[in-house]
């Protein structure tokens, strides 16, 4: 079976100067890989005509599918559409479907339209317009000497909808793609290198058709097994057998045997037993509550958070004894345990997780350096607290605190049953 390769071109000065992080390429790469398409190149270029033209030429020579995002907006710096019109030798015409879409959007929003908005419906007559059900700028599908070029908006929400609803189905209809399957599990509480050493024998013995990927992120590591070929039934059986073996090897640290986040795994634990959760956060500033509420349906089990950043909030709302703060300090085991007790009373939940720490870059001391964190989890019968020491910048320390707090909570819930 022929290997189908793709190139991704993202356009925008904001990507090159770091003002906007390019999440589009990563997402598109994942989706293409799921469908058996190998992403051979990823290129980011600024809003410079010559650079975009050169990127198109280069990908034309080496990729069968070229996906482009960015530069389709209504302002003068959005140069992708007129450039593609010239590149493929066409002229701009109004696409009636796109025009109807723009009018419906502005009618629904009860906003006036100007000519600049209506121009969004113009596309080169050498392309097939791709509907944009989440925005005003249509996508564009070009074909040239056996190569497919697809231009999409840079807004992630719009691009994802277009890829899922239109682009991937059209690509699958055009090419004979291999069957590809993944199995993913999530671990926490063990580093990537230690995990790799622990499963080294398993990894070395994997069949040639299966690849193992390590995907680390803030105190967690996802392990993904991937198989590709032409016999779905046989491949799925082989893959599942290896995945079951892997699960047994990492059972001590496994959070979930599917590709979900730790906060989603916790939500399922709580929802399945009709239990509730609250947070009492100091150093994480509500970030744990944000992670929990990012999961649809979290209102079934999450009741609220008390962000007790200042000591007067710890004493006033959570009823932490001022003497504890005076004797042990805010970053201490007695404080986070008292925060749990106070939040259990105030929020009336089954479980509470509490954090207090020094995130940096300053505020530390020889006794409690930057990165010192206490985390407590508990219910009305028991409270467990643990000290952590992180060594990174403020942002990463907050991320690691949240991850470890959620993992401590997960283990506590399981042990309480």
Asked if residue 277 and residue 243 are part of one domain, the reply reads no
pLDDT of amino acid 114: 82
Global model pTM greater than 0.85:
no
Q: How confident is the model at residue 81 (pLDDT cuts 50, 70, 90)?
A: very high
Asked if residue 87 and residue 233 are part of one domain, the reply reads no
* Distance from C-alpha of 406 to C-alpha of 396, rounded to nearest angstrom: 15
* Distance from C-alpha of 113 to C-alpha of 303, rounded to nearest angstrom: 43
**Burial class of residue 110, CB neighbours in 10 A (0-12, 13-18, 19+):** exposed
**Considering the chain, what percentage of its residues have pLDDT values greater than 90?**
86
Task: Show which of 145, 174, 203 is a domain's final residue.
Answer: 174
pLDDT of amino acid 156: 95
Best CA proximity match to 402, nearest among 289, 313, 294, 268: 289
Q: List 130's β-bridge partners, or say none.
A: 139
| For range 69-82, the mean pLDDT | 84
Which H/E stretch holds residue 130? Answer: strand 128-130
Residues 29-45 pLDDT 10s:
999 988 889 999 999 99
pLDDT of amino acid 111: 84
Q: How confident is the model at residue 198 (pLDDT cuts 50, 70, 90)?
A: very high
Residues 385-413 pLDDT 10s:
999 999 999 999 999 999 999 999 999 99
Asked if residue 266 and residue 237 are part of one domain, the reply reads no
pLDDT of amino acid 166: 97
| For range 327-338, the mean pLDDT | 98
pLDDT of amino acid 159: 97
| Overall domain count for the chain | 3
Backbone angles phi, psi at 2, to 5 degrees: -65, 140
Residues 101-127 pLDDT 10s:
888 888 888 888 787 878 888 999 999
* Distance from C-alpha of 251 to C-alpha of 230, rounded to nearest angstrom: 31
Whether pLDDT at 315 is above 90: yes
Q: DSSP string covering 254-304, please?
A: EEESSS--HHHHHHHHHHHTT--EEEEESTTTTHHHHHHHTSTTGGGTEEE
Asked if residue 352 and residue 273 are part of one domain, the reply reads yes
Whether pLDDT at 135 is above 70: yes
Asked if residue 53 and residue 97 are part of one domain, the reply reads yes
Asked if residue 364 and residue 237 are part of one domain, the reply reads no
Asked if residue 328 and residue 213 are part of one domain, the reply reads no
Question: DSSP secondary-structure letter at 318?
Answer: S
pLDDT of amino acid 116: 80
Asked if residue 70 and residue 219 are part of one domain, the reply reads no
Sign of the torsion formed by the C-alpha atoms of 185, 190, 191 and 197: negative
Q: In terms of residue numbers, what domain contains 41?
A: 5-174
pLDDT of amino acid 364: 93
Residues 257-283 pLDDT 10s:
999 999 999 999 999 999 999 999 999
Asked if residue 157 and residue 116 are part of one domain, the reply reads yes
Asked if residue 214 and residue 280 are part of one domain, the reply reads no
| For range 166-170, the mean pLDDT | 97
| Residue where the block lists tokens 């954090």 | 355
Comparing 417 with 199, the larger pLDDT belongs to 199
Task: Show which of 256, 274, 304 is a domain's final residue.
Answer: 256
Asked if residue 311 and residue 410 are part of one domain, the reply reads yes
Asked if residue 323 and residue 391 are part of one domain, the reply reads yes
pLDDT of amino acid 1: 63
Give me 213's structure tokens: 């990927």
- For residue 157, what is the domain's CATH number? 3.40.980.10
Task: Show which of 147, 174, 201 is a domain's final residue.
Answer: 174
| For range 179-202, the mean pLDDT | 95
- For residue 214, what is the domain's CATH number? 3.30.70.2860
Residues 211-226 pLDDT 10s:
999 999 989 999 999 9
| For range 305-320, the mean pLDDT | 98
pLDDT of amino acid 80: 93
């Amino acid at each position: 079976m022929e290997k189908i390769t793709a190139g991704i071109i993202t356009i925008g000065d904001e990507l090159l100067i770091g003002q906007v992080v390019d999440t589009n390429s990563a997402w598109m790469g994942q989706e293409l890989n799921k469908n058996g398409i190998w992403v051979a190149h990823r290129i980011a270029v600024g809003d410079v005509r010559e650079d975009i033209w050169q990127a198109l030429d280069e990908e034309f020579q080496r990729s069968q599918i070229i996906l482009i995002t960015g530069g389709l907006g209504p302002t003068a710096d959005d140069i992708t559409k007129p450039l593609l019109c010239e590149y493929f030798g066409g002229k701009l015409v109004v696409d009636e479907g796109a025009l109807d879409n723009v009018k419906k959007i502005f009618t629904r929003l009860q906003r006036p339209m100007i000519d600049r908005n209506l121009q969004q419906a113009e596309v080169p007559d050498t392309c097939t317009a791709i509907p944009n059900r989440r925005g005003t700028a249509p996508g564009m599908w070009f074909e040239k000497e056996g190569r497919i070029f697809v231009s999409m908006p840079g807004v992630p929400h719009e691009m994802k909808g277009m890829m899922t609803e239109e682009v991937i189905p059209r690509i699958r209809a055009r090419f004979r793609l291999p069957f590809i399957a993944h199995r993913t599990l999530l671990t926490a509480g063990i580093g990537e290198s230690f995990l790799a050493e622990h499963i080294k024998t398993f990894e070395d013995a994997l069949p040639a058709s299966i690849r193992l990927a390590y995907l680390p992120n803030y105190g967690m590591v996802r392990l993904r097994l991937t198989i590709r070929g032409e016999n779905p039934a046989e491949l799925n059986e082989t893959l599942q057998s290896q995945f079951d073996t892997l699960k047994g090897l990492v059972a001590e640290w496994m959070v979930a045997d599917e590709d979900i986040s730790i906060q989603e795994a916790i939500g399922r634990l709580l929802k399945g037993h009709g239990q509730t959760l609250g947070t009492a956060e100091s150093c994480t500033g509500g970030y744990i509550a944000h992670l929990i509420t990012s999961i649809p349906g979290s209102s079934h089990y999450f009741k609220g958070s008390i962000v007790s950043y200042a000591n007067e909030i710890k004493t006033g709302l959570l009823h932490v004894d001022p003497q504890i703060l005076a004797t042990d300090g805010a970053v201490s085991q007695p404080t986070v345990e008292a925060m749990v007790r106070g939040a259990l009373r105030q929020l009336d939940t089954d479980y509470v997780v509490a954090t207090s720490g020094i995130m940096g870059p300053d505020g530390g001391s020889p006794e409690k350096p930057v990165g010192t964190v206490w985390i407590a989890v508990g219910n009305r019968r028991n409270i467990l607290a643990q000290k952590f020491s992180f060594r990174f910048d403020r942002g990463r320390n907050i991320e690691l605190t949240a991850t470890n707090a959620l993992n401590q909570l997960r283990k506590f819930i399981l042990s309480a049953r």
